[in-house]
Amino acid sequence: MIFNAALLAIGLAPLLATAQLSGSVGPTTSYTTKASNKICNVLNYGGVADKKTDIGPAITSAWSACKSGGVVYIPSGDYALGSWVTLTGGKSTAIRLDGTIYRTGTGGGNMIFIEHTSDFELFSSTSKGAVQGFGYEFHKKGSLSGPRILRLYEVTDFSVHDLALVDSPSFHFSMDTCENGEVYNMAIRGGNSGGLDGIDVWSTNIWVHDVEVTNKDECVTVKSPAKNILVENIYCNWSGGCAMGSLSSDVDISDVVYRNIYTWSSNQMYMIKSNGGSGSVSNLVLENFIGHGNAYSLDIDQQWSSMSTVDGDGVQLNNITIKNWKGTEANGAQRGPIKVNCAADAPCTDVTIEDFAMWTESGSYQKEICNNAYGSGACLKSGSGGSYSTTVTVKTAPTGYSAATMAADLKTAFGTVSSIPIPTIPTSFYPGATPISALAGAAKTTSTCSCGN
């Protein structure tokens, strides 16, 4: 088969993107080294690209043969997945998914579950690999009890890239207790319903960039515990929007940056959500956000009514910086662009709002709400303690609120009663920004090899 010379660069040296991360991310061994050691083609382990033969046993067998140094290879073609795969104990390994996997099983849990694995890569060399979850088959019956598409647990030094995850019955992609990971060049497309999160991460030293999410729940969300998380060049295209939480007891989140986030027709541009609870969130930066047509913009809500109250005075939020936000919200009188509603017994401190210019698409005024939040900018109060509540009505559009849109902004949502098409991975995820890494499928082929055929 064709061997892409660009694969030489995939997973070569771990990459340190910015000082925000605590160290290198990504696999520590190159794809080329892994492939030269061993390639386990699923077609040689019972896999059939006929869209009806369960590929689960073939993936499991290929993993067993290559998990200690090699590549599980799923060639282009259409495959059925009727039994979920749990792949554990990998070291210096990769899964190259160039085909499309279609869910045919009906169980819960995780369709693809990677655990206790290090120096790992899951990717498509063509940028056309995909998993189609057919979640609508559950959702049209009012059920969200189906499986996640992809979950990583205790995986270190890894990357996931150049894949599409489509119409998951439940969450699309979760990273649980992982470390030193990079996720990029992905398209996640889900139904217009809550409970269909795009990417959830509670891990350490993770870089998520150049990802598009369509759904009606979390776009890219950080949960507790998490530390040293960088999220950038994200396209929330008719989504729930990015968020942190829901935050509960003993929260431990620090050193998180979101930047270059574009949000279109979503629930919010960014939300921190809790109701009671304990612990802390510190050192959070939310910068370079563009939004259009969203219900909420900045929404910090420590009395979030959609969450049952948790014992405790509240999660302490400290050293939060919001800067360079532009665009428009749907209705600024109904849901203003700034809401910082902190707990009276755990007020937010050292909050900074600067270079924030947003305006309403409906009506002639908008409101800013700040409760028990201390710092500078907008309706915040100086100081560090005590309770207060203030609402500011803004009747004049701020200077410089106009912001670019994206050509691929969806005109309508994908529903929950019919199949969602597999998208092409975008080549742009934020206005004017070039993806940090070119799509794997964009590179030219220069040589050939047998690659396990």
Residue 260 placed within a domain: yes
Q: How large is the average pLDDT for residues 43-50?
A: 98
Asked which of 14-23, 46-55, 380-389, 427-436 is least confident by mean pLDDT, the reply is 14-23
Angstrom distances, CA of residue 239 to CA of 190, 215, 266, 267? 9, 5, 5, 7
| In a shared domain, residues 27 and 170 | yes
**Share in percent of the chain as helix, strand, coil (round to 5):** 10, 50, 45
pLDDT confidence of 452, banded at 50, 70, 90? very low
pLDDT at 453: 39
> Which comes out higher in pLDDT, residue 323 or 7?
323
pLDDT at 386: 84
Residue 322 placed within a domain: yes
Angstrom distances, CA of residue 248 to CA of 115, 243, 270, 448? 25, 14, 18, 53
pLDDT at 20: 83
Q: What is the CATH number of the domain that holds 56?
A: 2.160.20.10
What are residue 445's DSSP bridge partners?
4
Over 364-411, what HEC string results?
CCEEEEEECEEEECCCCECCCCCCCEEEEEECCCCCCCCCCCCCCCCC
pLDDT over 50 (residue 228): yes
Overall number of domains in the chain = 2
| In a shared domain, residues 321 and 434 | no
Asked which of 13-22, 72-81, 341-350 is least confident by mean pLDDT, the reply is 13-22
Give phi and psi for 326, each to the nearest 5: -140, 160
pLDDT over 70 (residue 293): yes
Q: What percent of the chain has pLDDT over 90?
A: 92
Domain that holds residue 252: 239-409
Q: How large is the average pLDDT for residues 308-329?
A: 97
**Which amino acid type is present at position 74?**
I
Give the Cα-Cα-Cα angle 25, 33, 101 (nearest 5 degrees).
Answer: 75
pLDDT over 60 (residue 445): no
Check 217, 255, 299, 301 and give the catalytic one: 217
Note if 116 is an active site residue.
no
CB 51 within 8 A of CB 102: yes
Q: Is 407 buried (19+), middle (13-18) or exposed (0-12) by CB count in 10 A? A: exposed
Round to whole Å and give the CA distance between 283 and 163: 31
Residue 14, classed as helix, strand or coil, is coil
Round to whole Å and give the CA distance between 155 and 209: 18
Round to whole Å and give the CA distance between 297 and 339: 8
Q: What percent of the chain has pLDDT over 70?
A: 94
Residue 230 placed within a domain: no
Q: How large is the average pLDDT for residues 17-30?
A: 86
| In a shared domain, residues 451 and 322 | no
Round to whole Å and give the CA distance between 346 and 135: 40
pLDDT at 384: 83
Helix (H) or strand (E) holding 160: strand 148-166
Residue 415 placed within a domain: no
CB 69 within 8 A of CB 40: no
pLDDT over 50 (residue 449): no
pLDDT at 19: 53
Residue 400 placed within a domain: yes
| In a shared domain, residues 215 and 247 | no
Q: Are strands 316-329 and 100-103 parallel, antiparallel or unpaired?
A: unpaired
Round to whole Å and give the CA distance between 152 and 268: 27
What are residue 270's DSSP bridge partners?
242, 298
| In a shared domain, residues 101 and 145 | yes
Note if 172 is an active site residue.
no
| In a shared domain, residues 398 and 331 | yes
Residue 225 placed within a domain: no
Residue 115 placed within a domain: yes
Looking at residue 422, what DSSP letter applies?
Answer: P
Query: Which residue shows structure tokens 């009606």?
Result: 216
Round to whole Å and give the CA distance between 56 and 53: 9
| In a shared domain, residues 143 and 216 | yes
Q: Is 282 buried (19+), middle (13-18) or exposed (0-12) by CB count in 10 A? A: middle
Closest CA to 58 of 91, 95, 30, 31: 95
pLDDT over 90 (residue 330): yes
| In a shared domain, residues 446 and 397 | no
pLDDT at 326: 98
CB 4 within 8 A of CB 440: yes
| In a shared domain, residues 203 and 302 | no
Tell me the pLDDT tens digit for each residue of 332-374.
Answer: 999 999 999 999 999 999 999 999 999 999 999 999 999 999 9
pLDDT at 3: 34
Residue 141 neighbours by CB under 8 Å, 6+ apart: none
Helix (H) or strand (E) holding 60: helix 56-66
Residue 339 neighbours by CB under 8 Å, 6+ apart: 296, 298, 299, 300, 301, 368, 369, 370
Residue 414 placed within a domain: no
pLDDT at 446: 36
Q: Report the chain's mean pLDDT, rounded to a whole number.
A: 93
| In a shared domain, residues 103 and 2 | yes
Q: Are strands 91-97 and 173-189 parallel, antiparallel or unpaired?
A: unpaired
Check 139, 255, 292, 301 and give the catalytic one: 292
Q: How large is the average pLDDT for residues 7-15?
A: 39
Tell me the pLDDT tens digit for each residue of 378-411.
Answer: 999 998 888 999 999 999 999 999 999 999 999 9
| In a shared domain, residues 165 and 271 | no
| In a shared domain, residues 405 and 426 | no
